[in-house]
């Protein structure tokens, strides 16, 4: 394999086919292990709690620490990618993630595991913050939709396979191997990246540490406060967190407005296409998360189903996304994202309403085809929307745009999780009523996202 790294300029239009395949492979491996690290950790929490002699509430920090580290560092690392090159940030993120995975596998106390998960989260943020930006330099402009669809395909596949893979590993090995298994794949991805990833243009401006701190305070405090609402935290602490996060947010945005190359791309948000695409993404991921969290409770309590059967019922949604996302990606190279996304979200809304109409003890196939409708809608929206978002930014600002793609997804997932927790608390243990309200909320989120998506067709240029 050619070990000479292709240097990219603003006029370059992707890598040669051989290097392109190798570059997309390293992107695929890195995204896969970072996504699986979320899915498989959730399954292993009871085993971790037992072996590490921790309470369930303490063990949940294995998940929260990772999520929080990713959230607070996405935008700073995406900005760093614009400054020093996406390849460098990606390589460092991949390296940190691989080392942290080994540390997670070797951890024998909960504090050690949580600390390693924080480090793993920072590494994952290095991968997530610039992966879409890298794809923009790897594939030709005419194939950008297909390249972004490949990323969506990997995310959907790993999300669908995560629980089954975790169960398979736990059936023959301890939970430590859920993390250790990442190491050889991480090393392979680093080896491929050294030989194939392109060097990208660098802006050369200074990294703004004050903005990085304000960003961490904004997203950290607001997300912890929202999570506290859902989990019944002391209202005083929740108020302090939300007020502190809001103050940090105001200061952060005012600082960004004065900067030529802001970490939070407030200048890009002035573009209707960019702002509407972000809003569409947040609302759609909120809708998906509401369904993914609420339906298992309904199947378990109202339907009396086993965990394995529940897993089979949830799987059709991400499985269909695997098929639909590449098709939508290719179409997005020819047709406006506002149209494709609007159609997809309309189908998702119908699918959620169909799930809401399920009988008390639904037949297996009755659930499956409804979940497939939801998957078709979500898959049809995802790739075109991400393409529109990343294309709305200049190529030199691809890093911050890529960071916004991941931040919008995480924000939507957080809002959806809080929504489900609050609805379940307000319905006082009535699972059927709680799920009904949750699915209604999900359909509202999806319907609102559908309207926002179609609004992108009303501008001077349909995107």
Residue with token string 């294995």: 62
Residue with token string 């699986």: 36
pLDDT confidence of residue 93: 93
pLDDT confidence of residue 220: 86
Residue with token string 């037949």: 363
Q: Which residues neighbour 369 within 8 Å (Cβ) at sequence distance 6 or greater?
A: none
The pLDDT of 216-237, averaged and rounded, is: 80
pLDDT surpasses 50 at 3: no
- Classify residue 10 as exposed, middle or buried by CB count within 10 Å of its CB (0-12, 13-18, 19+): exposed
Burial 17-42 (b: 16+ CB within 10 A, else e): eebbebbbebbbbbbbbbbbbbbbbe
pLDDT surpasses 90 at 185: yes
Q: At what angle do helices 209-230 and 398-426 cross, to 10 degrees?
A: 20
Give pLDDT tens digits for 284-306: 989 988 888 788 777 776 666 66
pLDDT surpasses 70 at 408: yes
The pLDDT of 213-240, averaged and rounded, is: 82
pLDDT confidence of residue 194: 87
| 3-class secondary-structure state, position 349 | helix
pLDDT confidence of residue 5: 46
pLDDT confidence of residue 34: 85
Give pLDDT tens digits for 120-133: 999 999 988 888 88
- pLDDT classification of 415: cutoffs 50, 70, 90: confident
CB atoms within 10 A of CB 254: 11
Question: Which is higher by pLDDT, 147 or 181?
Answer: 181
**How many Å is the maximal CA-CA distance in the chain?**
62
Q: How far is residue 290's CA from residue 421's CA, in Å, rounded to a whole number?
A: 9
The pLDDT of 253-260, averaged and rounded, is: 85
pLDDT confidence of residue 424: 79
Question: Which is higher by pLDDT, 245 or 199?
Answer: 245
Percentage of residues in the chain having pLDDT higher than 90:
22
Q: How far is residue 164's CA from residue 179's CA, in Å, rounded to a whole number?
A: 15
Question: Which is higher by pLDDT, 232 or 228?
Answer: 228
pLDDT confidence of residue 243: 92
Question: Which is higher by pLDDT, 111 or 58?
Answer: 111
Q: How far is residue 158's CA from residue 163's CA, in Å, rounded to a whole number?
A: 9
Backbone angles phi, psi at 173, to 5 degrees: -150, 170
DSSP state of 199: B
The angle subtended at Cα 372 by Cα 308 and Cα 303, nearest 5°, is 40
Residues β-bridged to residue 7: 199
pLDDT surpasses 60 at 401: yes
Give pLDDT tens digits for 331-346: 888 888 889 989 999 9
Q: Mean pLDDT: which of 76-85, 95-104, 272-281 is highest?
A: 95-104
Q: Mean pLDDT: which of 5-9, 43-47, 257-261, 278-282 is highest?
A: 278-282
Q: Which of 166, 197, 171 is nearest to 182 (CA)?
A: 166
Q: Compute the mean pLDDT over every residue in the chain, rounded to the nearest whole number.
A: 83
Q: Which two tokens stand for residue 12?
A: 């370059």
pTM of structure: 0.77
8 A C-beta contact, residue 109 and residue 13: no
8 A C-beta contact, residue 364 and residue 308: no
8 A C-beta contact, residue 15 and residue 141: no
- pLDDT classification of 57: cutoffs 50, 70, 90: low
């Amino acid at each position: 394999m050619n070990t000479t790294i292709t240097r990219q300029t603003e006029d370059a239009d992707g890598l040669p086919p051989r290097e392109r395949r190798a570059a997309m492979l390293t992107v695929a491996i890195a995204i896969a292990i970072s996504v699986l690290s979320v899915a498989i950790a959730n399954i292993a929490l009871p085993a971790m709690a037992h072996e590490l002699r921790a309470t369930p509430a303490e063990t949940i920090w294995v998940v929260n620490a990772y999520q929080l580290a990713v959230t607070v560092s996405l935008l700073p690392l995406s900005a760093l990618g614009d400054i020093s090159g996406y390849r460098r940030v990606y390589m460092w993120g991949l390296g940190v993630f691989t080392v942290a995975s080994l540390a997670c596998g070797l951890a024998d106390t909960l504090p050690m595991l949580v600390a390693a998960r924080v480090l793993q989260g920072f590494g994952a943020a290095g991968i997530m913050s610039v992966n879409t930006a890298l794809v923009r330099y790897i594939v030709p402009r005419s194939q950008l939709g297909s390249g972004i669809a490949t990323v969506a395909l990997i995310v959907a596949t790993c999300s669908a396979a995560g629980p089954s893979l975790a169960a398979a590993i736990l059936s023959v090995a301890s939970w430590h191997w859920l993390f250790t298994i990442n190491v050889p794949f991480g090393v392979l991805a680093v080896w491929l990246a050294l030989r194939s990833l392109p060097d990208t243009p660098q802006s050369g401006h200074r990294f703004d540490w004050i903005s990085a701190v304000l960003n961490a305070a904004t997203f950290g405090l607001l997300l912890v406060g929202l999570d506290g609402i859902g989990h019944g935290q002391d209202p005083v602490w929740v108020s302090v967190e939300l007020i502190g996060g809001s103050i940090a947010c105001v200061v952060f945005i005012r600082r960004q407005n004065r900067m030529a190359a802001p970490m939070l791309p407030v200048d890009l948000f002035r573009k209707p296409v960019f702002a509407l695409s972000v809003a569409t993404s947040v609302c759609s991921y909120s809708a998906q998360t509401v369904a993914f969290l609420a339906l298992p409770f309904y199947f378990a309590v109202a339907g009396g189903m086993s965990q394995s059967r529940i897993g089979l019922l949830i799987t059709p949604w991400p499985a269909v996304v695997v098929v639909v996302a590449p098709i939508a990606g290719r179409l997005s190279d020819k047709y406006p994202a506002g149209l494709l996304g609007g159609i997809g979200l309309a189908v998702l809304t119908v699918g959620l309403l169909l799930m809401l109409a399920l009988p008390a003890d639904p037949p297996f196939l009755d659930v499956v085809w409804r979940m497939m409708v939801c998957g078709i809608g979500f898959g049809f929206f995802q790739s075109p929307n991400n393409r529109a978002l990343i294309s709305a930014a200049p190529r030199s600002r691809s890093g911050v745009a890529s960071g916004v793609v991941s931040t919008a997804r995480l924000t939507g997932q957080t809002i959806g999780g809080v929504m489900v927790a609050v609805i379940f608390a307000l319905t006082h243990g009535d699972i059927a009523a709680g799920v009904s309200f949750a699915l209604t909320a999900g359909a509202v989120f999806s319907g609102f996202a559908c309207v926002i998506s179609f609004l992108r067709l009303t501008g001077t240029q349909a995107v």
